[in-house]
Amino acid sequence: MSVNSNSALPKHIGFIMDGNGRWAKKRGLERKFGHREGAKTFRKISEYCCELGIKYVTFYAFSTENWKRPKDEVDAIMSLFESYLDDVRSHVDEKIRVIFIGDKAPFSDSLRNKMIALEEDSKNFDRMTLLLAINYGGRDDIVYSVKKIAEEVKKGNITPDEITEEMISDGLYTKNVPDVDFIIRPSGELRLSNFLIWQAAYAEYYFTDVLWPDFSKKDLDKALEDYLNRKRRYGGI
Ligand code: IPE
Ligand code: IPE
Ligand code: MG
């Protein structure tokens, strides 16, 4: 089965961009060089997803737990992120919508303002929606949604009995984005690490030992061929 323009392709793919540190270590380089290489892979794979006609793609770039890392590594990641934001105006030309998921509060004003400006400038594009998960945690996402619902209960607008799954989904950072269909994790780890835990309830998973900086278009083709051979039942028969 060819992955090109196949209507059974996932509508929403999530990538856990893992393995940058190990990629650098293998070459005797500092970890930050792995992140730099990983950022290039991110650009290449996001462009390829757009070519394939994938409508929604989420890239996990920095988790709520990644602040535990040494300050120089966190700083290096933030500075790569800032250069991406400076360079990314091309997405506006490419008619790609960009949404940042995760709590923007801890970022510098300069970074946050660039994030908000890009979201605003690209909000009417629908060729592809690129979601960048940065300071994102699946549990944090759910807490954020539940707090909004609790406010509605407090105001007397709804009763606890009236809370539905849709209300929780609508309060998430991924509001109006279809649930993720396919999650790809390179680097050999077999876990979600707090990525889209609510949205992934019926996702398909694909794990590969390839490290993210080495992840190629061919690797994505291979993953998608695997996806196309799966039967999703959603609890039915
Ligand atoms: C993923 O690569 C990037 C981030 C989590 C920011 P890692 O930095 O986790 O790479 P490994 O897992 O140490 O190889
Ligand atoms: C997951 O990778 C987070 C991102 C890719 C942004 P980690 O490297 O942080 O995950 P663990 O620590 O191996 O679970
Ligand atoms: Mg890792």
Q: Are 49 and 13 in contact (CB under 8 A)?
A: yes
The CB of 37 under 6 Å from ligand 1? The reply is no
pLDDT at 94: 79
pLDDT at 91: 66
Task: At 67, give phi and psi (nearest 5°).
Answer: -65, -15
The CB of 194 under 6 Å from ligand 2? The reply is no
Which candidate in 66, 103, 179, 226 is catalytic? 66
For a pocket test of ligand 2, which of 58, 62, 63 has the largest count of ligand atoms closer than 8 A to its C-beta? 63
The CB of 61 under 6 Å from ligand 2? The reply is yes
For a pocket test of ligand 2, which of 15, 16, 17, 18 has the largest count of ligand atoms closer than 8 A to its C-beta? 18
CA 144 to ligand 1 center in whole angstroms: 25
pLDDT at 86: 87
The CB of 41 under 6 Å from ligand 1? The reply is no
Is there a catalytic annotation at residue 66?
yes
Q: What is the pTM of this model?
A: 0.96
Which candidate in 4, 6, 18, 219 is catalytic? 18
Domains of the chain: 12-137+181-228 (3.40.1180.10)
Judged by its nearest atom, the ligand closest to the C-alpha of residue 136 is 2
CA 134 to ligand 1 center in whole angstroms: 13
Cβ-count burial 142-154 (b if 16+ within 10 Å, e if not): eeebeeebeeeee
Instruction: Pick out the chain residues at pLDDT < 50.
Output: none
The CB of 66 under 6 Å from ligand 2? The reply is yes
pLDDT at 90: 64
3-state per-residue secondary structure call for the chain: CCCCCCCCCCCEEEEECCCHHHHHHHCCCCHHHHHHHHHHHHHHHHHHHHHHCCCEEEEEEEECCHHHCCHHHHHHHHHHHHHHHHHCHHHHHCCEEEEEECCCCCCCHHHHHHHHHHHHHCCCCCCEEEEEEEEECHHHHHHHHHHHHHHHHHCCCCCHHHCCHHHHHHCCCCCCCCCCCEEEECCCCCCCCCCCCCCCCCCEEEECCCCHHHCCHHHHHHHHHHHHCCCCCCCCC
CA 237 to ligand 1 center in whole angstroms: 38
Q: What is the pLDDT of residues 53-110, one digit of tens each?
A: 999 999 999 999 999 999 999 999 999 999 999 887 666 667 899 999 999 999 999 9
CA 58 to ligand 3 center in whole angstroms: 17
pLDDT at 141: 98
pLDDT at 124: 94
